[in-house]
Chains A and B, each alone.
Chain A
Amino acid sequence: MSDLVAAGLDMTFPMPDGDSVHALKDVSFTLKQGELLSVLGPSGCGKTTLLNLIAGFLLPTSGSLSLGGEEINGPGVNRGMVFQQGALFEWLTVAENVDFGLRMKGIKKKQTRGKVEEWLEIVGLQGFGDTPTYQLSGGMQQRVALARCLINDPDLILMDEPLGALDALTREKMQSLVLKIWKETGKTIMIITHSVEEALLLGERLFVMAPRPGRLHKEYHLPFAEWGLQQDLRDVKAEAEFGTNRDEILSMIWNMEEEIMGGNA
């Protein structure tokens, strides 16, 4: 099984003035295949550092990370990544963006066409294959980014605040899409977000992280993702249990932020 295992992750960044920043301290967890994890926390708590470590863009100062028993020591195709701004290649069309990973493996454009069509249909962009990406709206660009990541068939999908830059309505549609993809493909998905509601909706498991040094503060196991597959997301948000959880986490993060500000003053 392709489980993600993090054991005693520690990350310090040296600063130009000789100091160092302790970004992550003793982070350990196991993410089973097919799980949906959302990570929440105030700014500066090391969420993005954690993601970059898993993606392989950074190497931990100490501790170990493995996916399916294999040590992670660099970027790889088994971990797909979706960025906040899409990070699409704007000189390519939608189809060319989606099959970028396949073509890097040396597969000819003609042979990828069927697969591209298939994925564009799943993310709701059928017929947009030849459109230049800079003509797409923000939500559509994120759909392209999703398709581009999924076509590579990764074991683990990492999302770095993927819906942060979208308007409320588009955001809700995209949240449903993420849930649908999670259900249909059975991929392991890890989402980093700023929004408490999004973390609750898109997290079978939810890590709340605390800053200075960045560490796992609290873990939740939540039913809302399952609910969201069966009913409208707005109805889920209206549930009493959702509200209790939201308020609890909000005040938790609020206190952390207060602490930082107080510490600074």
Chain B
Amino acid sequence: MSPETVRYIVGALFILLVFSFIGSIVYGRRVVRTEVTDAVFGNPVRALGGWYWVITGVCSILLLWFYFSWDAARAYFPNSANEMCQVARVDSELNALRSSFPMQSRLLKSTSFLAREGTQIEKARRLISKSGIDPALRDQYLSAADTVEAMLFTRASADSLSAENKIAIDELALRIDEATAMLADPSFPGPATEAEIKAAAEQPAWGEGLKKEIPDIPNTDRGRKFFQISQEMSAITADFTKIRNLDDGFIAEVKTLSDELKGLQTSGDDAEETKALTKSLDKILKRVDDGNIFPPTALDPIENAMKLFNAEQNVQKGNLKLLDALAFPGGEIRAGSTACTEQGSGRWLPKPSDTLTSLIEISDPTVGFKTVPLLWYEWKPVGEMLAFFIPDWVADLVPGEYPRHTASGVIDANLKTKVLNFATGNYPSFSVPVPAGHLWDSIMRVLAGLFLGIVLGVPLGLFMGLSRFAKGFFDPLIELYRPVPPLAWAPLILTIFGINDDGKIFLLFMVAFAIMVISARTGATGTQLSKIHAAHSLGATNRQIIRRVILPNSLPEILTGIRIAIGVCWGTLVAAEMLAGTTGIGFIENVARKQSNYEIIWVTIILLGLLGLLFDLIMRWIINRTIPWRGKG
């Protein structure tokens, strides 16, 4: 099937769903009306549930929209995101310029600066009046504050604007007008060059490979137009920020005042206080020195030019405005320094096809995630695996000494060397394939922790259930660590055992151990006395009773304990892997979080959920197979 066909089948399905949900809303509305009449004249129960249909319909449409709008936009308007990316570039270049005028902000920037510095001067004045310094010095400070304020106000007077600045402002306004004209010109920027076409064609298409969320090299005429304008606007903004309402005389005045303020600082008892006062006034003076305050109408030419440009930009966006609202409900497309991405409050919603593509991508064993495959196999020498079970110190027990190299540099292997090589797996042996990868690592950690917890926890739990002494001795020890949330132990344990598997397995062991002890203990104490009596009078010894009566009788509790322990271990493991480590599904999620890669985050969430469900289903199956008598004894 061609992509076109798929697109139309999906589209038809989509429309069908939308209409069925609209139908459910309409049906619900009708039922609600019937309900109102029936409450008075008929059967009041018959027509209940109308609002259910309405709410379900509305929610389903919203969900459908939020989930599939991205894919729908990609299918039907494959160039839309690319064009919006270019528009976003213009917007991001114009950010500094627009925020200087009442376009993106409420006040003219000069107005808000004046208001802010005025408040600061008032604050400084209060600080000076309240201070306990010498009254004469205080008056000097207050007059300095007046001077600072006066200097601030001079910037608002029309005289302050220099002739060069006036020219520069008019020039910029002209350049903006030119850009507006370019934007309006249907023939701009003319046919694409060979290089432009090639670059646009070579970049991955939208959704193809996920290195970039959206292709950012313009590949339509409209896109290229906005791209060119964004380049021009970048230059204009740079020149605009260079215009400062300053002249040499003013700069000299500021310098003198600043020195004067420093001169007011004393070195006596008031040193601290005068230092603070000087600093508060000097801070205001420094802002005045920035030259960002202009006379009220000085920048009008630029503002007017920008208004025209904004209007033209809006016109040129055309259908992109509607697409933006409909196809990107969760957020909008913004241009960053390296790439265009969708951002906004709804960005965390999974994009279905991108999530699937991410899963397929990291499932490829040659790609994996951070060079480790998701789930694959690797060839491992048998000797190395065998060495895992043989401690290295076995070699130390062999009598004799390890060989030293001879004068000719040769090392003669003796028996000790050979044993050491065997214990460390340092010898040629055939290799077998063993599973490997992030998923496998995570699962093995859980199983190892769980296994240790069961093997040590169940006997201890049974023992505690049977012996008062054991209960009294071990119960406080276990209750000492059990109430602490396992993750609270994690930093400590990962520090002691290291970030490799040992630490995580020990953490999981702690979790599983406590659960298994408690469940085995409950099982053992729950054994009916008559069963133990019966076994006794049938000639069973104490040991046989534990093995043949108490253990099987505790199996339901033990297996339920294992089922709970798997769930808790799974949760703890993911968090532990997020804290430290270089493999595992929690590690993937943590890295994806740092990269803001929502699709990978969703892949890990889905995988974790499916594996958790799988564990639980296996446990349920085991429980049904091994203890069919549960609840029937």
Contact = CB atoms under 8 A, between A and B. Distances in A.
Chain B at the A interface: SS class? helix
Contact of B534 (A87, A132, A134): A87
Nearest to A79: B537
Which of A80, A90, A133 lies at the interface centre, i.e. has the most chain B CB atoms within 10 A of its CB?
A90
Given A85-B530, A104-B544, A55 B537 contact: yes
B629 A77 contact: no
Interface in B593-633: 627-629, 632-633
Contacts of A91: 552-553, 555, 627, 629
B537 A90 contact: no
A19 B94 CA distance: 93
Contact of B528 (A55, A80, A87): A87
B423 interface: no
A152 B530 contact: no
A59 to B, nearest CB: 14
A75 B542 CA distance: 12
A84 B528 CA distance: 13
A89 B533 contact: no
A132 B540 contact: no
B391 interface: no
Contact of B537 (A81, A85, A105, A134): A81
A141 to B, nearest CB: 11
B477 interface: no
Given A132-B628, A132-B629, A152 B534 contact: no
Contact of B632 (A76, A90, A152): A90
Interface string A85-121: 1010111000000001100110000000000000000
B109 to A, nearest CB: 82
Given A57-B533, A91-B627, A134-B633, A77 B539 contact: yes
A263 B555 CA distance: 47
Contacts of B162: none
Contacts of B548: 89, 100, 104
B18 to A, nearest CB: 54
Given A91-B553, A134-B633, A77 B538 contact: yes
Interface in B498-546: 528, 530-531, 533-541, 544
A81 B539 CA distance: 11
B549 interface: yes
Contacts of B534: 81, 83, 87, 145, 148
A90 B536 contact: no
Contacts of B536: 56-57, 75
B531 A87 contact: yes
A55 B533 contact: yes
Most buried by A among B539, B627, B632: B539
B425 to A, nearest CB: 43
A12 B469 CA distance: 26
A89 B549 contact: yes
A83 B533 contact: yes
Contact of A148 (B528, B533, B538): B538
B539 A105 contact: yes
B538 A100 contact: yes
Contacts of B555: 91
A119 B627 CA distance: 27
Nearest to A105: B539
B632 A83 contact: no
B629 A90 contact: yes
Contacts of B539: 76-77, 101, 104-105, 152
A101 B538 contact: yes
A27 B124 CA distance: 104
Interface in A189-231: none
B535 to A, nearest CB: 7
A58 to B, nearest CB: 11
A99 to B, nearest CB: 10
Contacts of A101: 538-540
B560 to A, nearest CB: 15
Contacts of A80: 537-538
Contacts of A148: 534, 538
A57 B533 CA distance: 7
Nearest to B537: A81
A101 to B, nearest CB: 4
B533 A87 contact: yes
Of B536, B538, B549, B553, chain A has the most CB atoms within 10 Å of the CB of B538
22 contacts: A55-B537, A75-B536, A75-B537, A76-B537, A80-B537, A83-B533, A83-B534, A84-B530, A87-B528, A87-B530, A87-B534, A89-B531, A89-B553, A90-B629, A91-B629, A101-B538, A101-B540, A104-B535, A104-B538, A132-B629, A148-B534, A148-B538
Given A81-B533, A89-B535, A104-B548, 16 more contacts: A77-B537, A77-B539, A79-B537, A81-B534, A83-B530, A84-B530, A89-B549, A89-B553, A90-B633, A100-B535, A100-B538, A104-B541, A134-B628, A134-B632, A148-B534, A149-B537
Shortest 7 CB-CB distances between A and B: which pairs? Answer: A101-B538, A75-B536, A134-B632, A87-B530, A77-B539, A90-B629, A90-B633
